Structure 1
Amino acid sequence: MLYFQAVIMAGTVMLAYYFEYTDTFAVNVQGFFCHDSAYRQPYPGPEARSAVPPALLYSLAAGVPALVIIVGETAVFCLQLATRDFESQEKTVLTGDCCYINPLVRRTARFLGVYTFGLFATDIFANAGQVVTGNLAPHFLALCRPNYTALGCQQLTQFISGEEACTGDPELVLRARKTFPSKEAALSVYAAVYLTMYITSTVNAKGTRLAKPVLCLGLLCLAFLTGLNRVAEHRNHWADVIAGFLVGISIAVFLVVCVVNNFRGRQPESKHPPGAALAHARTISIPRAASPLEKNHITAFAEVT
């Protein structure tokens, strides 16, 4: 099972790489109307000049949840080390009956592994949506630089299609065709929701009744501000950001609820041996059928009375 999971993770990483850094999947070329006001916003500059640059976003999305999960699992393990419940629920046989994975290592690796898988899955879903739709950015015309005279744009209702309509930098034009859904919004909200559900389900210490909601709301607000910044800088439409939020939230909720079972450990096995139920069933008394002699005795007694 471990090797199968490793193969799935490797395939997910490779697919994300092909979407992100290669031209294996061709982007859909979507047309536009001449002087369309939806795509006439000024070019905000490269992504590195954004208020939330990709390097900062990816670092926070990868580093903060990993740090919080490691610290949280270490604290939980230290607090429950005195009892044997944690160990009995989380201990896993690795090789025969002699080797076991430490419960702290097992839980931390499981939660971080699922989070990493979801992070790459979110990236794949966002990139796939961008490739399939080819939705144009609000600043698309500033990068496309179409020759309106040659294209016959005397009428505003003239529809332009085809890659040859643009005279700008082909690489920038290609990036301006990949906005739906917003990958930045999807990754930020995925990290925030996953971490919020982890904190809510795992941290049960005294004095955290107010600290937990404040921390969780702060994480969600940061994700919302990331999407808001994408719209304010004219890098994405509102529809792109909302779609990215839905993708990130859906993947996070699915993984937490269906894969890691709300961050709960394995349920302890029943203390009764497997044959206990069968032995108990054998001890139940079964009514014995009356013999013919007993039936005649009962009939005679009834006649006399």
Structure 2
Amino acid sequence: MAKDKKWQLLLDLFSLASVLVPLLTLTQVAHPFERGFFINDDSLKLPFKEQTVTEVTLGIVGFVLNVATILIIEYLQSRRQKNPEQKYIFGFAVPAWVWQSYAAIRTFTFGAGCQQLLSNVTKYAVGRLRPYFMDVCQPEYNETLPANVLGYIQVYNCRNRFDPAYQPYLKDMRLSFFSAHSSFAMYAAVFFIVYIQYKGRWRGSKLLRHAVQFFALLTAWYVGLTRIVENYHHWSDVAVGFINGAIFGFLVVIYVLKPTKHLPLTWQDAPESALPVAR
């Protein structure tokens, strides 16, 4: 019988919890750094808007896209294998494709948790104000106070702090840098792109896989643009989010998941021995 994978499964769950629990705790308990603002900073005077792509929508789409892709590819690959090796968990046999799917989904989730934890630690530590800060806060301050005399307002109160309609946004208005939306969207897209580049197989079309990859990238790009257009982030927040997500997506697939290429290269340089010799 093959070695039981129960301990690996338990350690995987522990590793995931070590990332996801701090992430959840941070977002529920921590309070961001209270940064001041310049009186004439026009970048903070944009109107508040409802967001088009919510955290829930983005998370569901990102996970469903990758999980469904992983399950389909691993199942189809297992059908082409002769006598695929079964795995055992707590003594129960698990089909090889199920275990391979679990390994990929586990890795995707771990990477998603890591990049989101990095994003949120940065958000709470920096406390950069969102472009709609003035609209939501409606700050009240005394310019003659010693902390405010230089035009950088550090002591102030939000006029809307007692308005129930604005309560959910008084904390969120300090979490601009960097964009967790853009980071996760790009992470999910890059993971998807690199994964199907290594594992995808279909000889029906040379360009279909690359077209799908492009639209995944375009979707992530669109998510980032909505964060700027809807005044939730400065452009630099989105740019850093894209970079963070892309780096995590690439590194997680290549160095954590470490997939094997399903097909040989479609072209390669001919060995020197096969080349004609000039006379």
TM-score, scaled to structure 1: 0.75
Partner of 1:205: 202
Shift of 1:7: 1.0
Compared CA separation, residues 264 and 101, structure 1 to 2 (3 A): farther
Aligned Cα RMSD in Å?
Answer: 2.3
TM alignment of 1:248-267, pairs within 5 A: 248-263=245-260
Q: Which residue of 1 aligns with 2:22?
A: 15
5 Å matches for 1:284-299? none
Matched, 1:108 2:101: yes
Report whether the alignment pairs 1:40 with 2:45. yes
1:30 aligns with 2:23: no
Match of 1:119 among 112, 118, 134: 112
- List per-residue Cα deviations over 1:94-114 (Å, max 9, x = no partner): 67xx97542111110000111
The structure in which a higher percent of residues are helix is: 1
Amino acid at match of 2:104: F
Distance 1:245 1:226, change over 3 A: same
Secondary structure of the equivalent of 1:262? coil
Whole-angstrom CA distance in 1 between matches of 2:74 and 2:189: 18
Structure 2: give runs of 5+ residues left out of the alignment. 1-6, 162-166, 263-279
- Report what 1:217 is aligned to: 214
Whole-angstrom CA distance in 1 between matches of 2:256 and 2:86 = 18
User: Is 1:159 aligned to 2:152, yes or no?
Assistant: yes
Query: What is the count of residue pairs matched by the alignment?
Result: 248
Asked if 1 retains the 8 angstrom alpha-carbon contact of 2:182 and 2:220, the reply is: yes
Q: What stretches of structure 1 of length at least 5 have no aligned partner?
A: 266-305
Matched, 1:174 2:179: no
Give TM-score, length-normalised by structure 2.
0.81
Could you say which structure has the larger radius of gyration? Answer: 1
CA distance in 2, matches of 1:99, 1:140: 55
Whichever residue aligns with residue 47 of structure 2, its letter is P
Distance 1:40 1:77 in 2: 56
Residue of structure 2 equivalent to 1:66: 67
CA distance in 2, matches of 1:156, 1:222: 46
Q: For 1:83-102, what aligned pairs fall within 5 Å after superposition?
A: 83-84=82-83, 87=84, 91-92=86-87, 101-102=94-95
Q: CA deviation at 1:53?
A: 2.5
Aligned with 2:134 (options 138, 141, 155): 141
Per-residue CA deviation, residues 93-152 of structure 1 (Å, 9 max, x unaligned), is 667xx975421111100001111111222221111110011011011111121125x334
